[in-house]
Amino acid sequence: MTIDVTPVSGSLGGLVSGVDLCDLDDARFGAVEEALWRLQVLVFRDQYLAIDDHLALGRRFGPLHTHPAVAGVEGHPEVLRLRNLGKEKTITQVWHSDVSCEREPPSISILRAVEVPPAGGDTLWANQYAALERLSPGLRAILAPLRALHRGFGLEATHPVLRTHPETGRQALYVNGGFTYAFEGMTERESRPLLDYLVGLGSSLDLTMRHTWAPGDVVMWDNRCVMHYAIHDYDDAPREMHRVTVCGEAPV
Ligand code: SIN
């Protein structure tokens, strides 16, 4: 089974057409998974998922994750509601991998546009396989044995800096600006310059894709090999997104 997928940038991401996310037989779902492992981020237009459809789609990938700190929509703790609370309170305007402060961080995130601002509110994703490939052999050898500390929402975990993807077997850079704060065995001050360098490199514009949201859009991404960043450039305009996140494994 093949599905129609058009690349959306030179580095990662694909726009999938001709697929109804509420009506995916096993063959089509397999093709979606294959495209996700290959392209890391998939965009679907005109889906208008109900909450139950969104949950059912997430469960095709595995058990659903419940956010450790942010309440879900009423009656559905696995559906995270991300509303505009004003720029000062935005927690997603930073390059991050979802909830990497957990020992077993989520694998797949599926975000659905519920209400979009009249302009702005785009999301960016960055390819962390390609970020790793961009490092010199010397720096890669230094990073290979290192683990990094991630904290947030009152949680803390250590993960390898180079993470092997369980589906593709490829290695990706796995540090981010939202949660990673030090390398194991080093102070925060010692760690900061290299962490800043790695997150900066990992978010180089030519490693990114950008999505401008419209009602009905659904975007799914693989937190094990991308970082993402939600741009808050819409003042107090309403923006509401619902996110369903799939439980992941301890990074190796
Ligand atoms: C997220 O960081 O998971 C949400 C991204 C967005 O609101 O665009």
Q: Express each pLDDT in 192-227 by its tens digit.
A: 999 999 999 999 999 999 999 999 999 999 999 999
Sequence-distant (≥ 6) Cβ neighbours of residue 34 within 8 angstroms: none
Q: pLDDT (tens digit, 9 = 90+) per residue, 100-142?
A: 999 999 999 999 999 999 999 999 999 999 999 999 999 999 9
For the question of residue 228 being annotated catalytic, the response is: yes
Q: Which listed residue (98, 150, 222, 239) is catalytic? A: 98
> Nearest 5 degrees, angle CA 16-CA 17-CA 23?
95
Residue nearest to atom 1 of ligand 1 (CA): 92
The CATH code of domain 1-252 reads: 3.60.130.10
Q: Which listed residue (96, 112, 224, 232) is catalytic? A: 96
Question: Which residue, among 174, 208, 199, 203, has the nearest Cα to 11 in the 3D structure?
Answer: 208
> Nearest 5 degrees, angle CA 166-CA 81-CA 28?
45
All structural domains of the chain with their residue ranges? 1-252
Q: pLDDT (tens digit, 9 = 90+) per residue, 142-175?
A: 999 999 999 999 999 999 999 999 999 999 999 9
Burial of 211 per CB tally in 10 Å (0-12, 13-18, 19+): buried
Length of the chain equals 252
Residue nearest to atom 5 of ligand 1 (CA): 230
pLDDT value at residue 2: 80
Residue nearest to atom 7 of ligand 1 (CA): 230
Q: Within 13 Å of residue 39, how many CA atoms lie on the same side as its CB?
A: 23
Mean pLDDT for the chain overall: 97
Question: pTM above the 0.95 mark?
Answer: yes
Residue 45 has pLDDT above 80, yes or no: yes
Measured in whole angstroms, how far is the alpha carbon of residue 31 from the centre of its chain?
20
Q: Which residues are near ligand 1 (CB < 6 Å)? A: 82, 92, 98, 109, 111, 123, 228, 230, 241, 243
For the question of residue 242 being annotated catalytic, the response is: no
For the question of residue 98 being annotated catalytic, the response is: yes
For the question of residue 83 being annotated catalytic, the response is: no
